[in-house]
Amino acid sequence: MELRHLRAFRAVMQTGSTVEAARTLGISQPSVSRLVTEFEASTGERLFIRANGRLTPREAAEMILPDVERALAGVEGLRSRVDRGASPLRVAAPAGVVTRIFGPAVQRLQAERPGQKIVAEIMSYYEIVGAVASGRVDLGFVKAPVEHPALETVDLVEVGTDVVMRADHPLARRSRVHPVDLAAEKLILLGRNRPFRVQLDRILHEAGVTPEIAIETQAVSAACSFVHHGLGVTVANALLARAEAGVGSGLVCRPFASIVQHRFLLAHLQRPMRPRALAAFSEHVRDVAHEVLAGHLPAAPGA
């Protein structure tokens, strides 16, 4: 019996399926099934009832779960004590968040906690959920909705949607941009088939706008770089849009008239290994996010 068997068993108990457990652990579904089978063999008990792709815990599984959790907590606690002072805080976010939001937050964290090491990984929102749940990273910047039995989330900020353009663009003279205003524009659009893009496509369609899509990309930072080079305008969540359109960028943001909200969260395991460092960093991230929104609110020229 090895730690990987205990972790696979716990993940299946938390999620109810080998598919979700595999996603949590960052391994393949067949590997989870094999580990669970080996764990059952080592205990001499049939722990699950298998039906319709689901694993239903039997009484024996429920009885040993507390012991498994205590064993894993002991190992993880020992690792934490051994690594204390040397182990970095691992955080993950999309590229624009790492550079524009996490950067200042890390600076503030290290000012109050000298010597605190950080590993910042760049991932998509979907990848971040799995990385946090598997313990690969300690804290992730994610977008609602997030539902995972192993995670705890903290509300960070809820924002609307902005249109980002160069400061010399005619739309910059407006106080807000309506869907019909985009009819004649070259658009740089984000995340085909993602929920926000589906929403945006529907809004444009209902407004009778057939968009001229010049570029598609997956990151707000990349989209704003294309805007800076005069290749079109982009539509993005107001937090990252305003972070990219900072002082000296040559870009401005105007609110998008159609109501599209974005809710951002910070996610960590329910029993994190570094609760104090996580809490401190989370507060700094929240402060930076609100400062970005307050400091880069667009002026309100007449439309």
Secondary structure (DSSP) of 17-46: SHHHHHHHHTS-HHHHHHHHHHHHHHHTS-
> Exposed (0-12), middle (13-18) or buried (19+): which is 86, by Cβ within 10 Å?
exposed
pLDDT at 279: 92
Please count the other Cβ atoms lying within 10 Å of the Cβ belonging to residue 254.
Answer: 26
pLDDT at 253: 94
Region 4-29 average pLDDT: 82
Q: CB neighbours of 82 closer than 8 A, spacing ≥ 6?
A: none
Both structure tokens of 110: 């290290």
Going along the chain, which residue ranges are E strands?
A: 48-51, 54-57, 89-93, 118-122, 139-143, 151-159, 161-166, 186-190, 212-217, 233-237, 251-255, 262-269
Asked if residue 170 lies in contact with residue 197, where contact means CB atoms within 8 angstroms, the answer is: no
Question: Which of 80-84, 147-151, 244-248 is predicted least confidently?
Answer: 80-84
% of the chain at pLDDT higher than 70:
93
Complete domains list, the chain, with CATH = 3-83 (1.10.10.10), 89-154+271-281 (3.40.190.10), 161-260 (3.40.190.10)
Closest CA to 161 of 105, 232, 215, 242: 242
CA–CA dist 23, 12 (Å, integer): 11
Give the position of tokens 């002991």. 74
The pLDDT tens digits for 113-152 are 888 899 999 998 889 999 999 888 999 999 999 888 889 9
% of the chain at pLDDT higher than 90:
49
Task: State the DSSP code for 144.
Answer: S
Asked if residue 250 lies in contact with residue 228, where contact means CB atoms within 8 angstroms, the answer is: yes
Region 17-33 average pLDDT: 81
The pLDDT tens digits for 222-234 are 999 999 999 999 9
Closest CA to 145 of 285, 267, 14, 17: 267
Q: Kindly tell me if the per-residue pLDDT of 303 is higher than 90.
A: no
Whether the full predicted model's pTM is greater than 0.75, yes or no, is: no
